[in-house]
Amino acid sequence: MVRSRKNKLAASFVVTVSALPVIAGASACRKTTVDPDPEPAAKRGTTGVYRNGDTCYMSVPVSCPPGLACNPPAPPPVDCPPSHLDAGETAPPSKRPPGKEAWLRVKPHLYAASFGCSYTPEQFCTPAGSPHECLARGETVKVACTSIADAGPTRFSLAPFTYKDGLGVCHEIPAMECGEGDCADAMPEGRVVDCAP
């Protein structure tokens, strides 16, 4: 069976190669693990950026196997690159992995909801106009939280938590309050700590 390259398989697949005629039995076969070739940059879509109000978003190319419909994820918010800043606007954080100073920074998310709270760190992706590629995103951290009674609109009290950012640095965030939804913009900077083994 031939698989389309658009199916971006994450796992390796096994090819059985027969070294002798079938009558030789199982000992005549050996298994070879073959990793699928990564999709060449020329065949990947390009990263795009657009601005809507005060927020910039990254448009991500999505390819679907023939005959199937895709439900692409919502465009993630990113720090606006210099080309999308208005005069007088403050430049976004400049920290980037070495050699990737022009890459986009996908913003982190701190979600608070009745079913639970969590923090997802930042991610770095190629700049607009480049073949789309992103570095692996840090692990999402569950955050202990409780709803605050009689606080008007739904609010939550979040316990202190520690996370590792996109550069591999660990941060400890103190206890805080947060409205329902994404409240990463209200999160205090916290302090740098040693990463637990």
- 3 state SS for the chain: CCCCHHHCCCCCEEEEEECCCHHHCHHHEEEEEECCCCCCHHHCCECEEEEECCEEEEECCCCCCCCCCCCCCCCCEECCCHHHCCCCCCCCCCCCCCCCCCCEEECCEEEEECCEEEEECCEEECCCCCECCECCCCCCEEECEEECCCCCCCEEEECCEEEECCCCCEEEECCEEEECEECHHHCCCCEEECCCC
Per-residue pLDDT of 114-158, as tens digits, reads 889 999 999 999 999 999 999 998 899 999 999 987 756 688 999
Query: What is the per-residue pLDDT for 94?
Result: 77
Residue 106 forms part of a structural domain? yes
Please name the residues in contact with 17: beta carbons below 8 A apart, sequence gap of 6 or more: 29, 30, 31, 32
Cα–Cα distance for residue pair 180/164, rounded to 1 Å: 23
Mean pLDDT of 11-24: 40
Q: Which of 22-36, 66-80, 115-129 has the lowest mean pLDDT?
A: 22-36
Whether pLDDT at 180 is above 80: yes
Q: Which two tokens stand for residue 176?
A: 């805080």
**How high is the mean pLDDT of the chain?**
79
Do 91 and 101 touch, CB atoms closer than 8 A? no
- Domain of 132 in residue numbering reads as 41-193
Do 76 and 58 touch, CB atoms closer than 8 A? yes
Q: How confident is the model at residue 65 (pLDDT cuts 50, 70, 90)?
A: confident
Query: What is the per-residue pLDDT for 186?
Result: 87
> Residues in the chain, how many?
197
Residue 8 forms part of a structural domain? no
Q: Which residue has the higher pLDDT, 37 or 120?
A: 120
State residue 29 phi and psi, 5-degree precision.
-110, 145
Query: What is the per-residue pLDDT for 174?
Result: 95
| Overall number of domains in the chain | 1
- Distances 197 to 88, 152, 170, 194 between C-alpha atoms, Å: 43, 41, 11, 9
Q: How confident is the model at residue 160 (pLDDT cuts 50, 70, 90)?
A: very high
Q: Is the pTM of this model over 0.75?
A: no
Q: Which residue has the higher pLDDT, 156 or 32?
A: 156
Cα–Cα distance for residue pair 78/62, rounded to 1 Å: 18
